[in-house]
Amino acid sequence: MDILKLKGSGQAQTTSEDKVAKPEISSLASVAADRSESKGDFVPRRPGAGLEAKGVHAWFGKHHVLANVSLNFPSGTVTALIGPSGCGKSTFLRTLNRMHEFIPGAGMAGEVLLDGTDIYKSGTDVTKIRLKVGMVFQKPNPFPSMTIGENVLSGIKLAQLKVSNKDDLLEECLQRAGLWNEVKDRLSAHGGSLSGGQQQRLCIARALAVKPEVLLMDEPCSALDPGSTLRIEETIRQLTESVIVVIVTHNMQQAARVSDFTGFFLSDGGPGQLVEVASTKEIFSRPKDERTEAYVTGRFG
């Protein structure tokens, strides 16, 4: 399989000739705001900051599910991972904060560099990695034994962090997750009493409370109604000020709306691989690979 590998920010810019030469093939191209123009010469706040996957492979037992994925996630960006079911997007996501190894029989190869250091280096404290690389799951999973407030601050207690003012943190995280106004009067109610969309935003607030550098989102809106989805997308856009966001989604509009870069994964029976990665605008208007084009225009998958 011919894999087209592109480094996210480096190749994100396109020339004006390209735009003239190829008409936009996807209606989503107009949705995808061309953020890459401004992020093209993006300078990371700290040198070496950011997350980078180098030649990542993954196995479940003897089953090779993901092969040779290299992807760069510069700070201040949102990257969407798209592709048909079973192409290894979620598995790849879970290798980025070492949740992959939570599954019995899991195996991996390659490097994942967080701020220049391989998170799989022996002797690494895995809890510190997961503290820096937070995760929001597909199904909202607030802790049932805790109240809304306790849920948000649960990461602080679980990871035994010290916080000077818990009330401020609580409000800040709920504000950032777009949930504060709805729950500020019932912080001591149980998390399970919220609607599905509210629960998911509660989970986002919970993930933000430990101040992660990266937030991984595994189809966070797949069970939500359009209103909640929109709010979470707004939240994601606001998060980019301080957090790198990587989002797996089956919703092409969502990828177009929220992401700066988009990676397309595909499996043709073998392990899933990264077919193409480029600025979101480019993926939805002038993808270089014809399989990407077929996928984003809805002709297969």
Partner 1 sequence: MTTQLQNDFSTMKPNRPWRPTPRKMAEDFLVIAIAAVLSPVIVQFTGLAGISGNVLTFFVLSLVGSIGISYSRQGRKAVGNAVATSLIYSSFALVMLPLASILYTVISRGYQSLRINTFTQDMSLTQPEAAFDQGGALHAILGTLILVAIASAISVPLGILTGLYLTEIKGRAENLIRFLVQAMSGVPSIVAGLFIYSVIIIGSGGHYSGFAGALALSILMLPTVARTAEEVLKLIPNDLREAGVALGATQWRTVVMVVVPAARSGIITAIILGVARVAGETAPLLLTILGNNTTHFNPFDAPMSALPLYTFNLFRTGLNTAISRAWTGALVLMFIVLVLFIFARLGSGKKK
Residues in contact with partner 1 by CB under 8 A are 97, 99, 102, 104, 127-128, 130-131, 134-135, 137, 139, 141, 143-146, 154-155, 157-160, 190, 203, 206-207, 210
Token couple for 13: 């810019």
Of the pair 42, 143, the CB lying nearest partner 1 is at 143
Of the pair 28, 135, the CB lying nearest partner 1 is at 135
C-alpha distance across the termini of the chain, in Å: 18
Token couple for 262: 């988009």
Which segments of the chain does DSSP mark as H helices, in order? 16-21, 28-31, 36-39, 89-95, 126-132, 148-158, 166-176, 180-183, 196-209, 226-239, 252-258, 280-285, 290-296
For residue 153, the minimal CB distance to partner 1 (Å) is 11
Of the pair 150, 293, the CB lying nearest partner 1 is at 150
Which segments of 43-142 does DSSP mark as H helices, in order? 89-95, 126-132
For residue 79, the minimal CB distance to partner 1 (Å) is 19
For residue 220, the minimal CB distance to partner 1 (Å) is 13
For residue 143, the minimal CB distance to partner 1 (Å) is 5
For residue 236, the minimal CB distance to partner 1 (Å) is 18
CB-based contacts of 272, cutoff 8 Å, min separation 6 = 65, 66, 67, 83, 86, 87, 88, 89, 91, 92, 265, 266
Of the pair 67, 232, the CB lying nearest partner 1 is at 232
Of the pair 135, 224, the CB lying nearest partner 1 is at 135
